[in-house]
DNA sequence: TTGAAAGCGCTAACAA
DNA sequence: TTGTTAGCGCTTTCAA
């Protein structure tokens, strides 16, 4: 069923039908009702391609995912974020176009998406320090919002981020308050902006409390269970082992927990484990709580906010960058997570 | 830069330029070279929307994800599958359009995507028993491939699946060979076809070995760490506790492991834990191995195969359903996974 | 308040 | 081997 067919059916011109359907004010109320009824009855849907060509708007948002960033695509956080975006797009009649590219082709992918003109804007995932994509997109003149920020980038840009620095400062203070002095940090890859900020937050709190940061007790890498296990095992074997672990992910925390047990220590009794596995900043212990459940709604909310911001920018043809900084919520688990340091 | 502008620039008609660029054979070699050079020099990219409208092909594949299926979108397996599809789409110049809908609106979403005409085909995720989507898509006449199968659906349809039944039969036999008689099954939600098949494989092997299936040792639910922990804890507290656990997911297995330890037993010494956490069917132990690493390449491969099958069907205008059944690979971990039963 | 006509950028018959 | 001419289905001036 095309617009033309519908128009013929009604004895109207395609123009009028188009106007009626798209809410133009000059249409007679009765006509509009007739048109709406007919469209409904015949299950009419305007052809997207034609609409796009005629209006010049793609009604789609692009997400480019470099595949070699393993911790990105596989991360459940990513899936939930995407789900949040999708909700908003669906509401507003936008499509979500995902492009999966090998790492090296990322720049080309953006350029291609741009010149093919099949999206009206983009969401940038997993910003790194000095991330080149931001300058590229700015230069290309395509509206975009970054999920996260990129330290080192001078050009202004729009972003939605959680206050990672502060979240880790508070987590560290929390452990210090329990009496811990040798606190280990199991971080994500510090090329990633979020991980760099978390480390900064950690170091800041340590410095303020007059605690020494032992480089041997800081590790950065893929946030897997194996990472937590290996790192914790090595640290616990040192002459001055840590009494508390702060990790960037629940998976790492589970690995840490296993290493602690393997060393004959009781997590939550002799060793503290605290983790932050949520881009909206929940802090919880890594033991009794189910994996991947507490973090999900908040990450999805971040996705919604990114999407909403971008769609608003597009609708208003706005160029001025916007920001949204979400504060972390401190949630502390009970059973086998944090504990006071033993005398 | 439009086709027309490029043509004017070259003193050719748009048609010739189009033909040259799209590899039609009747174009003079020299002309083709000139056109190609000019296109490159001016960084010409054909407008996708126009192409779509003119050809009637959307050059896009749709994936509809119902959001309430939590174990679907959040599952890392899902992300990797999508990544596999994306690789193929990128190669062939297709876009991937993701639609996230509330569970209830799923049928409507398909209908809408269809009538808006913005995809040439669809991939169906996470088929359930008697899944209604298959009949719906068939009726709509849109080419589609199901990732998995749906027991109870009579209409023929195209699918790519792993042999879940056989994988679980073999895993159960493996445990039986180690001498286990009380084997527990921690399964996914059995509305999902894959989980139903896994259970069938388990029960089949038990029957063949003359082992009794204790209903109290079978559990189905969300495949989380908590599920594994709770289920195993309850089972281990029974008068006749299991000596081996077979789980549908690595996360569940980790929970089981924790419960086993909590019960004062040593996993891999006094209790066997074997898991299948891979839609291509790896079996491995749930302990020493990093989470979410072994499974990933194979799930991605499944994505590639689905995508390839669908694109071929579209290209050939083929209606006949195709199938691809992938055999499971049995990989057994070393350290703290399976063990012979203790006398 | 409605309609006619042109055009978005491309492809595809048909002619030359 | 190239060009002419019509669309694809919709929106959008401009007239009526």
Query: How much is the pLDDT for B119?
Result: 93
Containing H/E element for B220? strand B218-220
Residue A8 near chain B (CB below 8 Å) = no
Pick the residue with more confidence: B119 or B65? B119
Q: Within the 76-105 window of chain A, which residues sit less than 8 Å (CB to CB) from chain B?
A: 76, 78-80, 82-83, 85-87, 89-90, 95-101
Q: What is the mean pLDDT of chain A?
A: 84
CA distance B320 to chain A (A): 27
Q: Which residue of A has its CA nearest to B50?
A: A53
Give dist(CA A138, CA A124) in Å, integer: 12
Whether residues A23 and A76 share a domain: the answer is no
Residues A74 and A118 reside in one and the same domain: yes
Q: Which residues in chain A are closer than 8 Å to B224, comparing Cβ atoms?
A: 290-293
Distance, angstroms, CA A116 to C1' C16? 34
Distances (CA, A) of A210 to A181, A184, B93, B320: 9, 15, 57, 72
Tell me, yes or no, whether A174 and A71 share the same domain. no
**Nearest residue (Cα to C1') for C13?**
B15
Q: Which pLDDT score, from 0 to 100, does residue A217 have?
A: 98
CB contact under 8 A, B65 and A75: no
Strand D bases near protein CB (under 7 Å) are 1-5, 7-13
> Is 60 exceeded by the pLDDT of residue B3?
yes
- How high is the pLDDT of residue B295? 52
B186 and B212 assigned to the same domain: yes
Residue A183: partners with Cβ closer than 8 Å, 6 or more residues away: A172, A175, A176, A202, A206, A211, A217, A242, A243, A244, A245, A246
**A70-124, pLDDT tens digit by residue?**
544 455 567 788 888 998 998 888 999 998 887 778 888 888 888 778 899 999 9
Same domain, yes or no: B175 and B283: yes
Q: Which residue has the higher pLDDT, A278 or A292?
A: A278
Task: Work out the minimum CA distance from B206 to partner chain A, whole angstroms.
Answer: 31
> Is B16's pLDDT higher than 90?
yes
Q: Which nucleotide is nearest to B47 (CA to C1')?
A: C9
Same domain, B64 and B141: yes
3-state secondary structure of B325: strand
The verdict on a CB contact (< 8 Å) between B76 and A80 is no
3-state helix, strand, coil in chain B (%, to 5): 45, 15, 35
pLDDT category at B294 given cuts 50, 70, 90 is: very low
Residues A193 and A74 in one domain: no
Number of domains in chain B: 3
In this complex, which of B99, B226, B293 lies closest to A290 when CB atoms are compared?
A: B226
* Residues A181 and A107 occupy one common structural domain: no
**Distance CA B93 to C1' C13 in A:** 26
Instruction: Please check whether residues A272 and A314 belong to one and the same domain.
Output: no
What's the CATH number where B319 sits? 3.40.50.2300
User: Inter-chain contact A83–B76, Cβ cutoff 8 Å?
Assistant: no
Which residues constitute the domain of residue A23? Answer: 3-45
Q: How far apart are CA A149 and CA A324, in angstroms?
A: 11
**Is residue B333 domain-resident?**
no
Give the range among A22-31, A270-279, B127-136, B250-259 with minimum mean pLDDT.
Answer: A270-279
Asked whether B243 and B184 are in contact (CB, 8 A), the reply is no
With an 8 Å Cβ cutoff, is B112 touching chain A? yes
**pLDDT over 60 at B306, yes or no:** yes
Residues A17-37: tens digit of each pLDDT:
999 999 999 999 999 999 999
**Which bases on strand C have an atom closer than 7 Å to a protein beta carbon?**
1-5, 7-13
CB B86 to CB A67 under 8 A? Answer: yes
Element (H, E) at B104: none
From chain B, pick out residues whose CB is under 8 angstroms from the CB of A275.
none
- Is residue B339, in this structure, part of any structural domain at all? no
Mind listing the pLDDT tens digit for each residue in B185-199? 999 999 999 999 999
Are B156 and B188 in the same domain? no
User: How confident is the model at residue B277, as a pLDDT?
Assistant: 62
**Strand C–CB B15 distance below 7 A:** yes
Q: pLDDT at position A6, please? A: 93
Q: Is residue B340 part of a domain?
A: no
What pLDDT score does B60 carry?
A: 93
pLDDT at residue B291 above 70?
no
Distance from CA of A278 to the nearest CA of B (A): 14
Which of the two residues, A45 and A145, has the higher pLDDT score? A145
Classify residue A281: in a domain, yes or no.
yes
B317 pLDDT tier (thresholds 50, 70, 90): confident
What are phi and psi for residue A172, nearest 5 degrees? -65, -45
B214 in contact with chain A, both atoms CB, cutoff 8 A:
no
Q: How far apart are CA B96 and CA A115, in angstroms?
A: 17
Give mean pLDDT, residues B21-48.
91
Asked whether residue B36 falls in the same domain as residue B14, the answer is yes
Contact check, Cβ <8 Å, B48/A117: yes
Q: Is B140 within 8 Å of chain A by CB?
A: no
A304 assigned to some structural domain: yes
Give the model's pLDDT for residue A115.
Answer: 75
Q: How far is the CA of A15 from the C1' of C5 (A)?
A: 11
User: Residue B269 phi/psi, 5° resolution?
Assistant: -120, -50
Q: CA A6 – C1' D15 distance (Å)?
A: 24
pLDDT at A263 over 60: yes
Of B281, B282, B256, B280, whose CA–CA distance to B183 is shortest? B256
Say if B252 falls within a structural domain: yes
| A10 nearest nucleotide via C1' and CA | C2
Contacting residues of A for B307, CB less than 8 Å apart = none
Domain assignment of residue A332, yes or no:
no
Does A17 map to a domain?
Answer: yes
pLDDT at position B280 over 70: no
- Beta partners for residue B246, in sequence order: B185, B274
Q: What is the pLDDT of residue A297?
A: 64
Q: Identify whether residues B209 and B223 lie together within a single domain.
A: yes
Predicted local confidence at residue A341, as pLDDT: 57
- The CATH code of the domain that includes A21 is 1.10.260
Average pLDDT of the residues of chain B = 84
d(CA B37, CA B31): 10
């Amino acid at each position: 069923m095309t617009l033309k067919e519908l128009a013929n059916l009604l004895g109207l011109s395609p123009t009028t039908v188009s106007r009626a359907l798209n809410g133009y004010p000059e249409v007679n109320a009765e006509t509009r009702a007739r048109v709406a009824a007919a469209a409904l009855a015949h299950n009419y849907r305007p052809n997207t391609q034609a609409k796009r060509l005629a209006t010049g708007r793609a009604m789609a948002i692009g997400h480019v995912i470099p595949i070699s960033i393993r911790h990105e695509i596989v991360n459940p956080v990513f899936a939930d974020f995407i789900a949040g975006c999708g909700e908003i797009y669906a509401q507003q009649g936008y499509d979500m176009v995902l492009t999966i590219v090998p790492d090296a082709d990322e720049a080309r992918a953006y350029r291609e998406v741009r010149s093919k003109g099949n999206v009206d804007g983009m969401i940038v995932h997993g910003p790194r320090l000095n991330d080149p994509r931001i300058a590229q997109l700015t230069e290309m003149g395509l509206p975009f919002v970054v999920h996260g920020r990129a330290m080192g980038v001078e050009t202004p840009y729009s972003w939605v981020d959680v206050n990672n620095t502060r979240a880790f400062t508070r987590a560290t203070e929390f452990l210090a308050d329990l009496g811990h002095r040798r606190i280990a940090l199991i971080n994500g890859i510090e090329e990633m902006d979020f991980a760099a900020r978390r480390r900064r937050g950690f170091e800041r709190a340590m410095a303020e409390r007059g605690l020494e940061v032992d480089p041997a007790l800081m590790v950065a890498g893929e946030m897997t269970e194996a990472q937590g296990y290996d790192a914790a095992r090595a640290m616990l074997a040192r002459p001055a082992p840590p009494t508390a672990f702060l990790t960037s992910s629940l998976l790492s925390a589970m690995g840490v927990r296993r290493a602690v047990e393997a060393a004959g220590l009781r997590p939550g009794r002799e060793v503290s484990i605290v983790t932050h596995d949520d881009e909206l900043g929940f802090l919880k212990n890594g033991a009794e709580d189910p994996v991947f459940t507490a973090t999900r709604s908040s990450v999805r909310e971040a996705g919604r906010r990114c999407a909403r911001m971008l769609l608003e920018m597009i609708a208003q043809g706005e160029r001025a960058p916007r920001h949204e900084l979400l504060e972390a919520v401190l949630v502390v688990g009970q059973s086998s997570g944090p504990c006071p340091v033993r005398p």
